[in-house]
Amino acid sequence: MSELERRYHRLLRAYPAEYRRTRGAEIVGTYLDLAGPGRRWPSPGDAADLLRGGLRQRLRAAGAADLVPGVRLAAVLAFLTATALAGVWSVMELRPPPAQWGVPHAGPFVSLGVGVWGVWLFAAAVHAVAPGRWTRRGVALALLITVAVVPAAALAGLPRPPLLVLLPQVGLGLVALALPERLPARLQAAPLLAFGAAGLAGLNLLPRYGGYHGWPAEQILPGAAVVLLVVVLLLGMGLTLRADHRGGWALLVLLTPIGLLSLHILAGMADGLLNGATRPGLSALAATAVVVGLAGPALLPLTIALHKRMRRPGPVGPDARCPTCGRHR
């Protein structure tokens, strides 16, 4: 066995054991036939393809074949929510508080957040022109700038958006990285339209004073959580009627962003029950954010494991069928 073949077999461990026994030699042989002469390592594309294929087969074996489409649906909804919020916050940045209030601001803007929301607008514009790989790169850039604004503001001595606003944006952006390669043409401009519509609504709804604290963040973020939750529930029920379980998986994936959008309410409930406080303190907000950030992702593998455990073995004998292709064994 050559070194290249041995390395392909190592990558083949991503597949379930039964699948490797029945089709492993065929898969490795195909990749070896396509490999160029003198190659010693699998190409990055081959490695990614094998890992993706192994993940799909493991999900099918666990009864979670709808997970990947569900993640893509969650990514679309997360991106729409993130761009809509960016539209509202971008309007907020254009209305700094009066100078006599003595509140620090970044030149003509409320904070350095104006650059963050500008990059999210750029990602929405890229999606309208080139959805898929380029949009994911735009979302990755927006995520990077959203995180980098915290140390950048500290180094520059300038204000930034509060973490109550930035954390949900990061959660939504991480989910949006799974955007599908193609969307219907009528949906390509939806994030850009969401940014513009939310910005126009913000001009009418925001109070006359500037800043993120107070009414804007504490009302807009939970409102966005409710809208996102209602949309995914309605989509999930509609898809379930057609024996399509993408909506349930999308809801599981979006639980963490929804929890981060509701962080102020969840922390207030916890702090009120434990300490009798009327408003959550910084420690309650931080602890709630950690719990939401850990609990949401943990539910996904637990649900997959439960699906696998609940699957009953099929019939054994001449009437048995392959769970992957449906053919008789």
Query: In this structure, are 39 and 79 located in the same domain?
Result: no
In a domain, residue 318? The reply is no
Exposed / middle / buried, residue 270 (Cβ in 10 Å: 0-12, 13-18, 19+):
middle
Site of tokens 């009418």? 204
High-pLDDT (> 70) share of the chain, %:
80
Domain count, the chain: 2
pLDDT for res 103: 62
Q: Report d(CA 163, CA 220) in Å as an integer.
A: 15
Q: Which range, of 88-102, 191-205, 216-230, averages the lowest pLDDT? A: 88-102
Average pLDDT for residues 167-171, to the nearest whole number? 94
pLDDT for res 78: 96
In a domain, residue 321? The reply is no
pLDDT for res 117: 94
In a domain, residue 289? The reply is yes
Query: In this structure, are 156 and 290 located in the same domain?
Result: yes
Query: In this structure, are 72 and 36 located in the same domain?
Result: no
Q: Report d(CA 176, CA 166) in Å as an integer.
A: 15
Query: In this structure, are 158 and 47 located in the same domain?
Result: no
Query: In this structure, are 219 and 122 located in the same domain?
Result: yes
Query: In this structure, are 22 and 107 located in the same domain?
Result: no
Exposed / middle / buried, residue 128 (Cβ in 10 Å: 0-12, 13-18, 19+):
middle
Q: Report d(CA 101, CA 127) in Å as an integer.
A: 40
Q: Which domain holds residue 46?
A: 3-61
| Best-predicted range by mean pLDDT (19-33, 181-195, 210-224) | 181-195
**Pair 192, 127: CB distance under 8 Å:** yes
**pLDDT of 61 over the 80 cut:** no
Q: Which whole-number Å values give the CA distances from 206 to 95, 210, 215, 223, 280, in the listed order?
A: 10, 9, 8, 14, 23
Query: In this structure, are 163 and 279 located in the same domain?
Result: yes
Which one has a higher pLDDT value, 193 or 215?
A: 193
Average pLDDT for residues 34-39, to the nearest whole number? 70
Exposed / middle / buried, residue 141 (Cβ in 10 Å: 0-12, 13-18, 19+):
middle
Query: In this structure, are 114 and 16 located in the same domain?
Result: no
Query: In this structure, are 240 and 271 located in the same domain?
Result: yes
pLDDT for res 56: 74
Query: In this structure, are 262 and 298 located in the same domain?
Result: yes
Last residue of a domain, one of 61, 78, 93: 61
pTM of the model: 0.78
In a domain, residue 325? The reply is no
Query: In this structure, are 83 and 154 located in the same domain?
Result: yes
pLDDT band at 204 (very low <50, low <70, confident <90, very high): confident
**Pair 53, 19: CB distance under 8 Å:** no
Query: In this structure, are 136 and 242 located in the same domain?
Result: yes
